[in-house]
Amino acid sequence: MDPIAAHAEQARVLLAKYRVQLSLCCRMTLSAMLGLAASRLLNLPISLWAVLTAVLLTQLSVGRSLKATTDYLIGTIGAAVYAAVIGTLFPAANGPLGMVTLAIAVAPAALLAAVNPRFSAAPFTAVLVVLAPTITHLSAVGSALDRVIEVAVGGIIGIGVSLLVLPARAYDLSIAAAAEALRLMAQSFEEALSSIAQGPGGPAWLPIESDISAAFARLDAITIEAKQERMTRLTVEPDQGALLRTMLRLRHDLVMIGRVAAIHLPDTVHARLGPWVAQISDTVGEFLHACAIEVAARRTPAPLDEVTRALDGFAAELAALRRANATRNMPVDIVERVFTLGFALEQLRRHLSDLARCLAELSAGGTATGTMATKWLRWPQ
């Protein structure tokens, strides 16, 4: 490969890797420029607030921009009306009286923001409305109107840019987050089940719970943003709520299996169940890795036949152990772990089937629906 082609390939890979971040960078920059242009065109007294609002409300995804704009407008309008009343009743003045007026305006807004983060813009707006007249020489009502207009201009620009310029839908980001969580769970299932299958001679299971927790936190947050998009009719993609609930159940199955992996089963039990657990480890890990790939590609996952055969074999062997009373003389905690493993694997069977169904529904819905936000430029994949 010649040097030019090699550099072009490196650039393509970097663009694909950081396309979401670069898109946000472009949108924020354009929002700032449009905010300044709009404020000058409308002769707003202070261009700074319209520009800051436009940048602040240009978020990573369309859904997040919608939520941020809604919250910001609610907090701003409510605080502007209240602060305008306070500013009219108690005109801004120097000295102790001015400090008292400011405190009366800010305290309720700050309390509301502390109780509900949706109103985090309220204290900031109250301060501006009360103190801006000392700079712009407007009345408190005029200051409040200017503040609302500035926020409205910035909000319109932020939403417009988020929708029309390299739009990143929360639905797409949630699918990517789900794929990452599935990949981490596949790795953890493989390691936990392998630890049980290999017995005392195998390595101890080292959970990656922190990574999985972080992945689920991202998925949960982005799913809420995707719901915001559907509520505003900006997308008609299928709901990911069922997928998220199913993945949470799979995480609970992993926790139960991990508790069994923390101890070693007796040799007699391990000799009979170990080979089946090894097969389950391979098939479940392969299936979840495939699901992570297929959900990102919006395709239906492969059938569960291999996983089902391995789980059926384990269930039959466990039933044979019970019929033979092989666990009668074992310590109670060991017996509990053995049957906990059996219960966890039965739950795993159900939840993997639910996962396959959820991915099939998302795949079918994703091919039949679209979005009102046009992607004017597609980043290289």
pLDDT value at residue 374: 37
- Maximum distance among all Cα pairs of the chain, rounded to whole angstroms: 92
Whether pLDDT at 2 is above 60: yes
pLDDT-based confidence at residue 107 (cuts at 50, 70, 90)? very high
pLDDT interval class at 365 (50, 70, 90): low
Sorted by where each starts, the structural domains of the chain and their CATH numbers stand as: 3-164 (no CATH), 170-368 (1.20.58)
pLDDT computed for residue 94 by the predictor: 63
Q: What mean pLDDT is predicted for residues 143-159?
A: 88
202 pLDDT higher than 70: no
* pLDDT tens-digit series, residues 77-101: 999 999 888 888 887 666 677 788 8
DSSP 19-69: HHHHHHHHHHHHHHHHHHHHHHHTT-S-HHHHHHHHHHT--SSHHHHHHHH
Question: Contacts by 198-205 with C-beta closer than 8 Å and gap 24+?
Answer: 198/274, 198/278, 199/264, 199/265, 199/267, 199/270, 199/274, 200/264, 204/261, 204/262, 205/258, 205/261, 205/262
Using 50, 70 and 90 to split pLDDT, how confident is the model at 370? very low
Neighbours of 41 (CB within 10 A): 9
How many beta carbons lie within 10 A of that of residue 112, not counting itself? 19
**How high does pLDDT run on average in the chain?**
82
pLDDT at 380 over 70: no
Alpha carbon distance 363, 355 (integer Å)? 12
Please give the Cα distance from 305 to 242 (Å, whole number): 23
Task: Say if residue 378's pLDDT is above 50.
Answer: no
Determine the Cα–Cα distance for residues 228 and 58; give it in Å rounded to an integer.
15
The answer to whether 301 and 284 have CB atoms below 8 angstroms apart is no
CA distance 67 to 80: 20
- Is pLDDT above 80 for 4? no
Determine what percent of the chain is predicted with pLDDT higher than 70. Answer: 87
pLDDT-based confidence at residue 192 (cuts at 50, 70, 90): confident
Q: How confident is the model at residue 369 (pLDDT cuts 50, 70, 90)?
A: very low
User: Which residues touch 319 (CB under 8 Å, ≥6 apart)?
Assistant: none
Is a pLDDT exceeding 70 seen at residue 231?
Answer: no
Give pLDDT tens digits for 312-348. 999 999 888 888 887 777 778 778 888 888 999 999 9
Q: What does the alpha-carbon distance between residue 1 and residue 347 come to, in Å, rounded to a whole number?
A: 51
CA distances from 369 to 11, 61, 65, 333, 357 (A): 32, 19, 22, 52, 18
CA distances from 163 to 24, 209, 357 (A): 12, 36, 31
* Cβ pair 51, 129 in contact under 8 A: no
The residue assigned the tokens 């019929």 is: 323
3-state secondary structure of 297: coil
Residue 361 has pLDDT above 60, yes or no: yes
